[in-house]
Structures are given as C-alpha cells and as structure tokens.
Amino acid sequence: MEIKVRKIGGQEQEYIEIGCHAEDARVKSIVRFVKGLDGSVSGSKGEHIYEIPVVDIFYIESVDDHTFIYTYKDSFETNLKLYEFEEILKEKGYLRISKSVILNLMKVDSIKPALNGRFLCKLTNGEDVIISRKYVAEFREFISRRAGA
C-alpha cells in the first residue's frame, strides 16, 4: 500500500482518504485506528455500532481474545486489540495496569493496597480494577512523573 502525506493550508480541515479496491478488514482496522487517534473508538453492542468518545471510557479489557470497552455503566465489544488501544491512547491518560486491562487514569477515584503487592483502583463509577504486581512500578513512575509535570 502506497502512503502519501500532503501538507494543506491552515484554513483547510485535515482529512485522511483511503484509496482501496474493497473495504476489507485491513482498511476497517486503519479507520478504527485513526478514529481512536482522533478521540473516539467504535464499539458494538448487540447489532448496533457506536462511536465511544475516548474521555467516556473507564477501562478496556481483553477476555479470551475478545476486547471490551467499559464506560460508566455500559460495555461494548471492539475488534481492536489491547496493544492497538495502548498505542492509540498512550498520550490520552491511559495506562496498562495488567496483562488484560488498560485504564483511563482520569476515571480513578482512589487507590488501595490489595494482597500480594497488588493495588486496587476504585473507579468513579464504583467499580474496582487491579493493578497487577508487574505493572505497579511502571504505574507509580508514570503518575509521579506526570503529576510533577
């Protein structure tokens, strides 16, 4: 696939156009990725597809090869993989807190110790998610650096 980047004037709206023979899975994946960078991600619930603003997401979880997006009280399935979300959302205040969860730090109310060196994040919707041992050091380093920034 050839990639062209063309600079446009400041008064024109930025856009991305994909020239393709068919709107296959690869093209759809590119579209989802770009939408994520732009502030929303697609998720399905039943037969409907929704655009979910990144700021409304509480956390994203991978369960048995399926990825789910959790908002205040809803959940949506998505085709993007967790590592793709990690790439898209790393500059938007999201952080990996375990092998299967990426957390929106803006939705955390408080942190408490759990057993065995793990920590429990209480979210603003009352849900709890666990920061696993492996990710605790990275989490501490990230928020202490960003808190001082």
Partner 1 sequence: MREHIKNNLMSFFIIVTLVNIAIFICGIVLAPDEKLGYTAFIVPVIDGLLGVIPGLVMYSKRELTVRQMIVRDIIQLLSIELIILVFTFGFSGFSNVDVSKFLAIVLSVAFVYVGVVVIMYLLDFRTAKKMTDDLKAFQKSNN
Residues forming the site for partner 1 (CB under 8 A)? 93, 98-99, 105-106, 108, 110-113, 115-119, 130, 132-133, 136-137, 139-140, 143-144, 146-149
| CB closer to partner 1, 5 vs 115 | 115
Least distance from partner 1 to the Cβ atom of residue 112, Å: 5
Please state at what angle helix 82-89 crosses helix 25-37, rounded to 10 degrees.
40
SS3 108: strand
Q: Please, which residue, 69 or 123, has the CB nearer to partner 1?
A: 123
Q: What is the DSSP string of 31-92?
A: HHHHHHHTTEEEEEETTEEEEEEGGG--EEEEETTEEEEE-SS-EEEESS-HHHHHHHHTTT
Which of 31/136 has CB closer to partner 1? Answer: 136
Minimum CB separation of residue 26 from partner 1 in Å reads: 34
